[in-house]
Amino acid sequence: MTGEVKLGILGGGQLGRMLLQAGLDFNLYTLILDPDKDAPCKPLCNEFYVGSFRDFDTVYNFGKKCDIVTIEIEHVNCDALAKLEEEGVKVYPDARTVRTIQDKGAQKEFMQQHNIPTADFRLLQNKQELQESHLAFLPAFQKLRREGYDGRGVTRLTSESDLGKAFEEPSVLEKLVDFEKEISVIVGRNANGEVAAFPVVELSFHPEHNLVDSLFTPANVPADLQRQATEIATRVIEAFGMVGILAVEMFLTKDGQILVNEVAPRPHNSGHHTIKANFTSQYEQHLRAILNLPLGDTDIQSAAVMLNLLGEPGYSGEAVYQGLEEALQVPGVYIHLYGKKYTRPARKMGHITVLGKSLEQAQERAASIRDVIKVIA
């Protein structure tokens, strides 16, 4: 890496913010594009542009100012990314990968074509097709092919009686998996083809909002299955030929199979703990990958639990944080707030990393503060 590198990030939310924090150590000149004039990244970057990362001209003109363009959200204009690539701007992850992943149907077909284990699925054009041809496939999850995020665009259909909540738009119907655990592996790859995976984490999902509620590491998964999960994540990133960080969410079934659920071509909620718990954070690793530097040590330094800090039900408005002082009195507790001025129910406002000398200690500490911190208005 020579001279000052101009790094452009499409999206200015919390993932971009944590990426910028890691980027300070690399002397990067950073540019952000986001539609929100008060996005969390705004105070930390060198140049901030208000605009849509879905609009061709906006993304193209932004990208021409940069040496490297990366993303913190998948829902960006891939045609603009492809043109930037043609004109010599480095785009990581590349437009082809992002285009595949932002369409959950194309993502599932990609897994199938590359012999990546995944749940059985059907592609639907509309609700009528579901009703006429696929009722026997239920129970299943129906997922919108596009625009789903943080649990939105996903609904569970158990029988014909659930058709009232089925989506009308093109979707994936994914067979309900009888799983024992949900796990995730974050894997990085640089342009030289070097690959490094973070240890497996075990996920817990919020029962209402269908997003990660908490996670812990080391995962309570047999060593041979952890190796298998890591091998699968490595196969996925190599199949894409992707440069950057890829989060691979997986099911561990009750009969010992590992099935890929979904992937995200960017830093991910299931890797927040790495800022405190690992030798290298997922954010530093993403930067190392896209700058084509040697990848960092992914091992954990400490057992950890990560708790998402969500806006409390019934509160919308300027955020007020309760219980910070009480929580910070517990050893091993670290607060990460995302710089969002306004809260609303279930909005991600921050996360808490809880470390311990053992997983049991970290879990005990996490349990003691889980209900202490609240985000109200």
Q: What pLDDT, in 10s, does the model give residues 347-360?
A: 999 999 999 999 99
Query: Start-end ranges of CATH 3.30.1490.20 in the chain?
Result: 120-175
Q: Percentage of the chain with pLDDT > 70?
A: 97
Query: Start-end ranges of CATH 3.40.50.20 in the chain?
Result: 6-91
With left for phi above 0 and alpha for psi between -120 and 50, is residue 130 left, alpha or beta? alpha
Query: Start-end ranges of CATH 3.30.470.20 in the chain?
Result: 179-376
Decide if 263 contacts 101 (C-beta within 8 A): yes
CATH H-level superfamily of 120-175: ATP-grasp fold, A domain (3.30.1490.20)
Q: At what angle do helices 78-86 and 56-63 cross, to 10 degrees?
A: 30
Give the torsion sign (CA, 93, 216, 252, 256): positive
Determine the Cα–Cα distance for residues 303 and 308; give it in Å rounded to an integer: 17
- Which ranges in 196-317 belong to alpha helices (H)? 223-240, 274-277, 282-290
For 293-343, how does the pLDDT look when each residue is reduced to its tens digit (9 = 90+)? 999 999 999 999 999 999 999 999 999 999 999 999 999 999 999 999 999
For 109-162, how does the pLDDT look when each residue is reduced to its tens digit (9 = 90+)? 999 999 999 999 999 999 889 888 888 899 999 999 987 766 678 999 998 888
Specify the residue for token string 């209402």. 208
Residue 257 has a CB neighbour count (10 Å cut-off) of 16
pTM here?
0.94
CATH number of the structural domain 6-91: 3.40.50.20
Decide if 265 contacts 246 (C-beta within 8 A): yes
Specify the residue for token string 């703990």. 273
CATH H-level superfamily of 179-376: ATP-grasp fold, B domain (3.30.470.20)
Q: What's the full length of the chain, in residues?
A: 377
